[in-house]
Amino acid sequence: MSAIARPLLAQRFILFQALVVGPLRENPGRTALAVLAIALGVALGIAVHLVNASALNEFEVAARHLAGEADLVIRGPRDGFDQALYPKLARMPQVEAANPAVDLEVPLVDRPGSLRIIGFDPLQAARVQPSLVPEEYSMLSDLLDADAVLLSAAAAEWLDLTAGTELRVRVGTRPVRLKVIGVMAAGVYRQRLGLMDIASAQWRLAQLGRLNRIALRLKPGTDVQVFRQELAALLPAGVHAVTPDSEGEHRAALTRAYRLNLDMLALIALFTGAFLVFSSQVLALLRRRSQFALLRAMGVTRVGLAGYLVTEGAAVGVIGAALGVLAGYALAHAALLLVGADLGAGYFRSIVADLAVKPEVLCAFFALGVLFAVLGTLGPAWEAAHRAPTRALRAGDEEESLEHTRSPATGVGAIAAGLLLTLAPAVNGLPIAGYAAIALVLLGTVLLMPSFAAALFSRLPVPASAPSAVAIAQLKATPRRSAISIAAIVISFSFMVSMLIMVSSFRVSLEAWLGRMLPADLYLRAARSGETAFLTPEEQRRIESIPGVERVQFLRAQTVLLTPERPPVNLHARPIEAAAPDKILPLIAPPLVPPANAPPPVWISEVASDLHGLRQGDTLRLPLGGKSVLCTVAGIWRDYARQNGAIVIDRGIYIRATGDRLANDAAIWLRDGIDIDEAQETLRDALPPEAIVEITATREVRAASLRIFDRTFAITYALEIAAIVIGLFGVGASFGAQALARRREYGVLRHLGMTRQQIGAMLSQEGAVVAALGVAAGLAVGWVVGLILIHVINRQSFHWSMDLHMPWAPLAVLAALIVAAAALTAVWSGRAAMKQDVVRAVREDW
Amino acid sequence: MLIIREICKSFGGARPRELLRRLSLEVGRGEYVAIRGESGVGKSTLLNIVAGLDQPDSGSIVFDGAEVTNLDDNARTLMRRRKIGFVFQAFHLLPHLTVAQNVALPLGLNGIAAVETMQRVEAILEAINLANAAGVYPRELSGGEMQRVAIARALVHRPLLLLADEPTGNLDPDTAMQVLSLLREQVKSAGGSGILVTHSDRAAATADRVLALTANGLEAATP
């Protein structure tokens, strides 16, 4: 084959090679960086999404499994309802079968945490939840023993127990010994669970006469919704009939904002990657403008030229997205294997999950990666295709190519639109408008950078030294080109700044909140988690009478179901002065003090206020002791601990309404001069030896809370660091591209006698000035985005408010590091471009 | 073949000026015309207007029977693709394509079949004595070789009109004369017309007719 034939075989692809393959191959470093950025963004997005989706899927499967063939489930508060309700419902003509149950999280004795134990009627279960019935008949009869428990495979593995071993759980403050009679087959129920006979559970777990769950299977032809309405009239206050899917839906709703937040964080990495594609494309296309002018002169249409250039971006997107899908899948698999399904916020702690992959999810993220890469190319491609060929053929000033960026109107408009969007409410509990606002603010800032740079650089004084003078002159003459590097720094740094501000504000607010919520010296808890640990009145009296104790406040924690559409709300009964509730609660506004004849006051958390649409001054019906008690919302307080919402009621009112004198926690104030550590020992000695309680000094509780906070944000920090690294590489790439474009200039300077060191000094000054401007703009934009995160995203997602706190010291250190890194990068990029023979650079065609 | 009637062109900006004032020109089929003038007098602007890359403020241009000023951008692009060839002072070869691929580019744009493309490229590279460099990239060529490749690319699709803008501006005198001879020879052998724009008297002397572009317009000049 002749030398002519070989290269011409694919002659129809000559343009493709000239405009797509060739440039990608000529700059392997830049191409690899763009591919990596897109791949990383896609991988992080897929990994985060898959882990969360898999956990949620497992949760929903588990909930459906437990519900079995039930059409409705009767659910009540944590302390349940009178078991007399069961025969009433079972005898209703519409009910085919009913399975009563006690469903509790029971704290463990030998390790932290709790185990879900369901006490059910195995004979009734066969008609409603057949999957829970043991296959072996002998196991079924063994289950009727008073201390028998059957474990799921996941529970047995977690607890390291087998058939015949002992499981110790906590009821009140005492250990209760249960005997493991067997382990369910692995596929029966995938989560951690223990099953007991209902009578045994009621007796051993202190639930005599109480149920908190009844699963109903209705007769064929019964209208479920109509029957539900009929039931509502029969059920006591606080007890509701819900569909079996509601538990899964509650968890999905509860975690939706959290999952979206993580998805958005992962997308930040993708956005930064797209910006990297954009900034490197702008500079590369500037450098190739005379090629494009030639092709336009030769007869390539605008659409044709733009099409090839967009294809170049799409090629990067396809390769990057493909790599990202593979990496994301592997990352998700590894995360589930090594870390589990919980990414830090605790929503899916203890969930055992396998990776659940839907091909359409992978395709969607793949498409996102390609789309972001194409979006990064669209602007530069359109601009290159519509540039007048005549100018470029004369090799005119590149700044003329960026003339259209002179007007700041579009940038200002985008920022204004973004700020307006911050006023929009959440959509289905999600801060969609908030995210759109952030995107618009960032886009507007990028669009404003050319005007901003032009205005600022024109005011820079010209130094006396030659390299510095050339550096400043370069910036003054090409502000719009420098704006591309500035924008890359602004994007990365503003993300960093906004997250730092948000996390710092949150942490400081949390610390202040802990100070208000934990005023005592010691805290005694019947158990850290679980629903069967409590302090009896006798134990409470004993604690109060311990020498050295000045006073004690006992708290009773329950849950109430205000409405079946929402998860249960936490109810805290504690001593509280109606006239001065802000002594113990961090109220967000001055409280309302209801008159003596008004319904008794309660104080609701911000979460409860937002979720249930309650405001100060409203009344609500609180289900207490099976009765509906009208109460007044006397105030709203800030609560970072309870994601379902919380209601505080005076303990005296609670006891009068329910007769429940049990307590879960005790806040203990010591007399002056009493040592905290010694007091802890005294407390322990004062209680019976078999009593199991947790006694913690306030400082330890605060430290543990902050550790949980930091762990919760660990994944956030990781995603942010990934975005920052990509952004900084982008800064390096844009400096590198500019350096390549200025090879001829360096050659001329070297001809004139400037040393390499002087050129290096010149570049470092340019880099430092550009970075300083980028950092300053990034600080301002980051502050705005931080405010949006605090007051819009967080508020609408999690219903928390927090006070703004600016972490000046870390910001200053980061800013200095960025400027130094940019200066070094500029020098390094210039050195790479100056490696060529300087003579050749001057006479080069391109 | 090319009839320019009373075109005017002015430029605004920091220094507004009128470059072309009621300029008229006719170039017949097979004619090779040189337009000589000082830098900045509007020679390149005139070529750009003829090629449809720029529009005159007034006047008309009829090329191969079509009024160029009435055509939209796409139509002018297609006109350039099929009927015009360009040679530039700065060569403007595409760096990611070999010599043969650079020369073949206009044929690809015009949808010429692969076999015919190969034959034409082979023939024209032979004519410019660069058949051995078919698989070489531009960065490996000398300035004169690059300009010869550019000439080949400008003529391989047999345009009706060749426009050469200071084609020897970057070449030494000997190489420049070789390139000018080649240019004239290829224009004539292809049967098309050509307009050579230059500030060099020697370059202009290679044309059939020499015109001088001054502030007063086009005037006949001695070759």
Contact with chain A for residue B105, Cβ under 8 A? yes
Instruction: Please say whether the beta carbons of A101 and A211 come within 8 A.
Output: yes
Question: Which of B104, B109, B122 minimises the CB distance to A299?
Answer: B109
The verdict on A319 touching B (C-beta cutoff 8 Å) is no
Mean pLDDT value of segment A64-70: 76
Q: Which residues contact A233 (CB under 8 A, 6 or more apart)?
A: none
Question: How confident is the prediction for chain A on average, in pLDDT?
Answer: 84
Cα separation, A315 vs A304, whole angstroms: 16
Amino acid at A383: E
Q: How far is B107 from chain A (nearest CA, A)?
A: 9
- Mutation target to probe the A interface, by most A beta carbons within 10 A, among B105, B139, B153, B171 is B105
Give residue A447's pLDDT: 87
Which tens digit of pLDDT belongs to each residue from A419-466?
999 999 998 888 999 999 999 999 899 889 888 888 888 888 877 776
Q: Give the distance from residue A308's alpha carbon to the nearest chain B alpha carbon, in angstroms.
A: 14
Is the CB of residue A590 less than 8 Å away from at least one CB of chain B? no
Q: What is the DSSP letter of A697?
A: E
For chain A, percent of residues with pLDDT exceeding 70? 89
What does the pLDDT read at residue A463?
A: 77
Distance CA B122, CA B100 (A): 8
Q: Chain A interface, mutation test: which of B45, B76, B101, most A Cβ atoms within 10 Å?
A: B101
Q: How far apart are the first and last CA of chain B?
A: 22
CB atoms within 10 A of CB A23: 22
Q: Quote the pLDDT of residue A395.
A: 46
| Rounded distance between C-alpha atoms, residue A638 and residue A608, angstroms | 10
Give the Cα separation of A678 and A159 in Å (integer): 33
Higher pLDDT among residues A722 and A72, named by residue: A72
> What percent of chain A lies above the pLDDT cut of 90?
38
Does residue B127 sit at the A interface (CB-CB below 8 Å)? no
* Cβ atoms of B27 and B1 closer than 8 Å: yes
Predicted pLDDT of residue A146: 87
Contact A302 B73 (CB under 8 A): yes
Would you tell me which residues 20-49 of chain B have a C-beta closer than 8 angstroms to some C-beta of chain A?
44, 48
Contacts of B135 (CB under 8 A, 6+ apart): A3, A4, A6, A7, B98, B99, B100
Distance from chain centroid for Cα B207: 13
**B132 in contact with A, Cβ within 8 Å:** yes
SS3 B166: coil
Interface contact flag, A301 B114, Cβ < 8 Å: no
- Reduced to 3 states (helix: H, G, I; strand: E, B; else coil), residue A37 is helix
Chain B residues with CB inside 8 Å of A11's CB?
A: 101, 104, 107-108, 114, 117
Q: Which of A4, A24, A309 to mutate to test the interface with B (most CBs of B within 10 A)?
A: A4
Closest partner CB to B105 (pick from A6, A9, A298): A298
Query: Three-state SS for A183?
Result: strand
Phi, psi dihedral angles at A750 (to 5 degrees): -65, -40
The whole-angstrom separation of Cα A169 and Cα A172 is 10
Q: Which of A12, A18, A390 sits opposite B54 (nearest CB)?
A: A390
A358 touches chain B (CB under 8 A): no
Quick one: average pLDDT of A714-719? 75
Q: Mark A327-365 as b/e (b = at least 16 C-beta within 10 Å).
A: bbbebbbebbeeebbbbbbebbebbbbebbeeeebbeeb
The alpha carbon of residue A304 is apart from the nearest alpha carbon of chain B, in Å, by: 11
Q: What are phi and psi of A802, to 5 degrees?
A: -150, 160
Nearest chain B alpha carbon to A844: B139
Q: Which residue of A has its CA nearest to B108?
A: A12
- Would the CB atoms of A290 and B92 count as touching at under 8 Å? yes
Gap between the Cα atoms of A375 and A369, Å rounded: 10
CA distance A367 to A369: 5
Helix-helix angle B99-109:B143-155, to 10 degrees: 20
Task: Spell out where A191-317 has E strands.
Answer: 194-197, 210-211, 213-218, 240-242
| Per-residue CA distances from A285 to A277, A312, A443, A730, A747 (Å) | 12, 11, 21, 16, 22
Q: Do A298 and B86 touch (CB under 8 A)?
A: yes
Annotate A357-393 with DSSP letters as a single string: --HHHHHHHHHHHHHHHHHHHHHHHHHHHHS-HHHHH
Tell me which long-range contacts A704-709 makes (C-beta under 8 A, separation of at least 24).
Answer: A705/A510, A705/A514, A706/A507, A706/A510, A706/A511, A706/A514, A708/A346, A709/A506, A709/A507, A709/A510
Residue range A13-36, pLDDT digits in tens: 777 777 777 777 777 777 887 888
Contact A663, A540 (CB under 8 A): yes
Question: How do residues B37-71 score in pLDDT, each as one tens digit?
Answer: 887 888 888 988 898 888 899 999 999 999 999 99
Q: Is B81 on the interface with A (CB under 8 A)?
A: yes
What does the H/E/C string look like for B173-202? Answer: HHHHHHHHHHHHHHHHHHCCEEEEEECCHH
Do the strands B161-165 and B193-198 form a parallel or antiparallel pair, or are they unpaired?
parallel
Which H or E element spans position B59? strand B58-63
DSSP type of residue B62: E
A305/B contact by beta carbon, under 8 A? no
Lowest mean pLDDT among A185-189, A782-786, A810-814: A185-189
Candidate from B73, B77, B108 with C-beta closest to A14 = B108
pTM of the model: 0.78
More reliable by pLDDT, A351 or B223? A351
Q: How far apart are CA B171 and CA A643, in angstroms?
A: 78
Residue of A6, A17, A294 lying closest to B96 (CB–CB)? A17
Q: Is A403 on the interface with B (CB under 8 A)?
A: no
* pLDDT value of residue A47: 87
User: Is the predicted pLDDT of residue B189 greater than 90, yes or no?
Assistant: no
Check CB contact under 8 Å for B122 and A4.
Answer: yes
pLDDT score of A396 more than 50: no
Which residue out of B96, B121, B149 would a mutagenesis test of the A interface target, given it has the greatest number of A Cβ atoms within 10 Å? B96
Mean pLDDT on A366-379: 88
Stretch A278-289: mean pLDDT, rounded? 74
Q: How distant is the Cα of A283 from the closest Cα of chain B, in angstroms?
A: 17
Min mean pLDDT across A198-212, A234-248, A310-324, A722-736 is at A722-736
**Alpha-carbon distance B64 to nearest alpha carbon in chain A (angstroms):** 17
Residues across chain A: 846
Nearest CA in chain B to A18: B96
- Average pLDDT for A721-749: 71
Cβ within 8 Å, pair B92-A299: no
Interface test with A, best of B72, B86, B87, B109 (most A CBs within 10 A): B109
What letter does residue B97 receive in the DSSP assignment?
S
Chain B environment of A390 (Cβ under 8 Å)? 48, 53-54
Contacts of A23 in chain B (CB under 8 A): 96
The secondary structure element, H or E, covering residue B18 is strand B17-27
> What is the gyration radius of the CA atoms in chain A, in angstroms?
33
Chain A residues in contact with B52 by the CB 8 A cut-off are none
At residue A764, the pLDDT reads: 85
Interface touch B73/A22, C-beta < 8 Å: no
SS3 string, A289-338, reads: HHHHHHHHHHCCCHHHHHHHHHHHHHHHHHHHHHHHHHHHHHHHHHHHHH
Chain A closest CA to B77's CA: distance in Å?
5
Q: Which residue has the higher pLDDT, A747 or A120?
A: A120
pLDDT band of A404, cuts 50, 70, 90: low
Work out the mean pLDDT of chain B and round it to a whole number.
Answer: 87
Give the residue from A560, A711, A542, A694 showing the smallest Cα distance to A107: A694
Place of tokens 């408009």: A413
Q: Is B82 on the interface with A (CB under 8 A)?
A: yes
Q: Which tens digits make up the pLDDT trace of B131-169?
A: 999 999 888 898 889 999 999 999 999 999 999 988 888
Which residues in chain A have their CB less than 8 angstroms from residue B108's CB?
Answer: 11-12, 14-15
Task: Measure the N-to-C terminal CA separation of chain A; round to a whole number of Å.
Answer: 31
Which among B53, B104, B135 has the least Cβ separation from residue A390? B53
| The predicted structure's pLDDT at residue A400 | 53
A vs B: CB pairs below 8 A:
117
Phi, then psi, of A343 in degrees rounded to 5:
-95, 15
Q: Give CA torsion, residues B107, B112, B117, B121, to 10 deg.
A: -30
